[in-house]
Structure 1
């Protein structure tokens, strides 16, 4: 007997007459690169991937533009409003800006790790992992993981709503300053002033007013710092809004995963009960057959 392996799908058995030689052809289908690529692409959790890309884009836009906007704010306060740092360790505007910068660094690092964890959770509850490890490990671990991430994502979504509301404040301030600059150039003789005390940036006792008609006012309105900082604040607000949308997208994905693993758990219990009942019925029939055979003999 001779065994020959061929990479096709159907099997054929041939026998040469008279010589007693049997040739068995084993037809086996080979898995190509296309099938492997299709299987790998089918196991990617695309909703989680889209939400992760949106989250990274929003956080990067918020952190990068927010950091540069704070730097531009410091430059504007020092160059045009002549605000100086406090010589003692006090909670002035510059200290608050430094604290916000460190908070931005922490947000960037935390959500970079959180996006990776959510992607891992998406792969964990995908069909590819189900094919590898079966339903049991998916349902026992996946329900706890999905429930934990749903609660955590909901908390982060509320936090990003607060960040978005907080980011809209400098946008409102810079829009007012830009509007005053526009009106001062179109309305001649108008008495328009910029006072940072009304925004709580400096104490009430310190007067740092810049009014229209002064050299500092026109230099500030024509400077690149004001225009760039205003647009950076708008971009940071857009990034915070994109992060909120990503959190909402994650909540939908995690809720769907929760429903998936919950149904898989119920299906697993049903299959276990069904297999036990079938085994019991098989044992009962076997016992009765043995009793009948013994009675007959």
Structure 2
């Protein structure tokens, strides 16, 4: 029983397992917070600035697809890690074709992970900019003059960020109800969502770095196992010759 437990423990790719947990948690938090943050942004532009952002609904669906794809990728890399760990590697990659397939699969996942790493770094840059914008919005809302309803929040100096047909009065937030919607209901909540999404994005990037290290190690293990297998085959071929030579010497 103890030997079986020890054998099972040695077959678990702990580094890949940790990276998979980090990836799934990070992607889950990212998709949830970005979905909610995008919804708050749509409501803010609709009810405060009277702008309709139809494309945001498509972006929300993209977040769902990203979550499912990253989860599937993490499970596939975990499966590859299990095959390349411990005694499982010895059994699975015994044949030459299996070893070649294992090295190719590791190389393919290395390429995919590298591309995803670049994509998530770009997403991190985008989130930093969005979070900074909402932090500026929150700083405008924290102005005592604005909180006392003695001053409007004027976005006319940022007119380049609005569509060309936007009216100047729609770029000002003056009404008490609009100030409450803009500051309390949308900006405050959306900023929290985007901060959490940024942290989750960092977690995903860290998990992808772990994946790159694990896949590189698995590739090296499979390659070294191929050399070790060739050495074993050579030794098996030499042993009968040595035994035959020894028998001739005795007789």
Report the TM-score range of the alignment, normalised by the length of the smaller protein. Answer: 0.7 to 0.9
Q: Which residue in the other structure is 2:38 paired with?
A: 70
Q: Work out which structure has the larger RCO, using CA pairs closer than 8 Å and 6 or more positions apart in sequence.
A: 2
Aligned-pair Cα RMSD in Å = 2.7
Q: Is the 8 A contact 1:197 1:203 kept in 2?
A: no
Whose helix fraction is larger, Structure 1's or Structure 2's? 2
Q: Is the 8 A contact 2:34 2:197 kept in 1?
A: yes
- Aligned ranges for residues 102-113 of structure 1 at < 5 Å? 102-113=61-72
Residues 174-208 of structure 1: CA deviation (Å, up to 9, x unaligned): 111111111254798666413596463x3123122
Distance change (3 Å), C-alpha of 1:103 and 1:79:
same
TM (normalized to structure 2)?
Answer: 0.86
Q: Which residue in the other structure is 1:181 paired with?
A: 141
- Alignment partner of 1:278 is 2:239: yes
Structure 2 gaps of 5+ residues are: none
Larger Rg: 1
Q: Is the 8 A contact 2:28 2:67 kept in 1?
A: yes
Taking the aligned partners of 1:271 and 1:128, their CA distance within structure 2 comes to: 16
Q: Which residue in the other structure is 1:122 paired with?
A: 81
- Aligned ranges for residues 1-297 of structure 1 at < 5 Å? 32=1, 34-83=2-51, 85=52, 94-130=53-89, 132-133=91-92, 135-136=94-95, 139-185=99-145, 192-195=153-156, 198=159, 200=161, 202-207=162-167, 208-211=170-173, 213-283=174-244, 288=248
Report the Cα offset of residue 217 of structure 1.
4.9
Structure 1 gaps of 5+ residues are: 1-31, 86-93
Taking the aligned partners of 1:221 and 1:128, their CA distance within structure 2 comes to: 59
TM (normalized to structure 1)?
Answer: 0.74
**Corresponding pairs, count:** 247
